[in-house]
Amino acid sequence: MKFDFTFENPTKIYFGKNSLDNLEPELKNYGKKILLAYGGGSIKKNGIYDKVIAILKKCDKEVFECSGILPNPALSKMLEGAKMVKENNIDLILAVGGGSVVDCAKGIAVSAYAEGDAFQRYWINFEDINNKTVPVASVLTMVGTGSEMNGGSVISDTVNKVKAGRVFPSFVNPKFSILNPEFTFTVSKYQMVSGVFDIMSHCMEQYFSGDDDNTSDYLIEGILKSVIHSVKIAVQDPNNYEARSNIMWCATMALNKVVGCSKEQDWEVHAIEHQLSAYTNCSHGMGLCAISMPYYRYIYKYGLPKFVRFAKEIWNVDATGKSDDEVALEGIACMEKFAKECGMITTLKELGATKEMLPDIANSCLLGGGYKKVNHEEILEILKQCYE
């Protein structure tokens, strides 16, 4: 491992079929006023809302609701929640939902008591937080982002077409997260496989960088193998507890900082997807999937040994008699075949992008990269490759 690192993760995880039993004792650590944050209604249909409300009532909490937090959570919704927190002196924000709800809850937590334009200051200018924040906790119902155990919060300014992500210091992490794999049984196949590609992308964004012998890379390979194995089962059998629980834990482990230790990391696929979402409102994981294959075909030659390792370790590519380029490209082709077999989306057109949007999307992307630092012209070429 080449680089020094500091590792810290304060989130407590309760995992398993009975994990919601821990909500009641945890709630005793917080004051009376709870902001319940949730999405567009799935938790009302599948009964999770009723279960959580019953526990809140038992604990004699005063409940305020911030509902309708939709995928790719909007800045306007975050500000609405922030106003509620400040006006009602909320003690804890309890997010019940997927990454969008948890991200929005964190956004509310840091902006409720912020002076001025919190989004500009914290998401765009990356200022340090210098105001009071409100504790957040989560009951996770959709798997992929890792938001349940990290400080990430991705918020969309729909007016200016900017989807901005910030990894906040760990005091913004959920204090505790409740992960019951059974709560994900009602997630549609489309959302489930979208979440799975998000997990894979988090793994790859960290894996495709560096040339040192790094424990993090071996851990990432383990997570990738587990999630690829489990999603094949869950696609056939959505209520398979073992497969769903493995996918759930893979998601948490892929983005709770553990596998990023001593890694330079890439994150350009995410930077491009965020702007793709800002223009199309597409599902995060599906956007990542559509961008990844052309992106990796474009950059693989700059990190050839790692792409060869990826092909052999993850996709069991037989390298006999093949050049390194052939092996690396075969690995990416295997990933594309797998994605299509699972029902993931591999073109921008299917996600609602038009050809006219592509230059604006490309020009608005943040520039980063691992093995190759791409510029806006190169991003446009990559987007054209994944258009249809």
Q: Which is nearer to ligand NZQ, 56 or 204 (CB)?
A: 204
Q: Which of 243, 256, 199 is nearest to 223 (CA)?
A: 199
Q: Would you say 138 and 104 are in contact if contact means Cβ atoms under 8 Å apart?
A: no
Q: Which is nearer to ligand NZQ, 100 or 246 (CB)?
A: 100
Q: Which is nearer to ligand NZQ, 112 or 149 (CB)?
A: 149
Convert residues 162-181 into a mask of x (bound to ligand NZQ by CB under 6 A) and - (unbound). ---x----------------
Q: The tokens of 196 are what? A: 């799975």
Q: What letter would DSSP give residue 182? A: G
Residue 257 near ligand NZQ by CB under 6 A: no
Q: Which is nearer to ligand NZQ, 103 or 336 (CB)?
A: 103
Window of 114-122, 149-157, 209-217, 220-228 that interacts with ligand NZQ by CB under 6 A? 149-157
Bridge partners of 13, per DSSP, are 177
Task: Say which residue the tokens 């038992």 belong to.
Answer: 58
Q: Which of 146, 145, 164, 147 is nearest to 155 (CA)?
A: 164
Binders of ligand NZQ among residues 184 to 243 (CB under 6 A) are: 184, 186-187, 191, 195, 198
Q: Which of 30, 35, 55, 98 binds ligand NZQ (CB under 6 A)?
A: 98
341 CB-near residues (< 8 Å, 6+ apart): none
Window of 77-85, 152-160, 297-305, 348-356 that interacts with ligand NZQ by CB under 6 A? 152-160
Provide the 3-class DSSP secondary structure of residue 16. coil
234-237-240 Cα angle (round to 5):
75
Residue 103 near Zn ion by CB under 5 A: no
If one counts every other C-beta atom within 10 angstroms of the C-beta of residue 165, the result is 15
Residue 103 binding target from ligand NZQ, Zn ion, none, CB below 5 to 8 Å by type: ligand NZQ
- From residue 152, how far is each of 156, 162, 172, 219, 320 by CA, in Å? 13, 16, 8, 21, 42
How far is Cα 121 from Cα 234, in angstroms, rounded to an integer?
41
Q: Which is nearer to ligand NZQ, 43 or 328 (CB)?
A: 43
Residue 191 binding target from Zn ion, ligand NZQ, none, CB below 5 to 8 Å by type: ligand NZQ
Q: Would you say 269 and 201 are in contact if contact means Cβ atoms under 8 Å apart?
A: yes
Convert residues 284-313 into a mask of x (bound to ligand NZQ by CB under 6 A) and - (unbound). xx----------------------------
Residues found near ligand NZQ in the complex (CB under 6 A): 39-43, 46, 71-72, 97-101, 103, 141-142, 144-147, 150, 152-154, 165, 183-184, 186-187, 191, 195, 198, 255, 270, 284-285
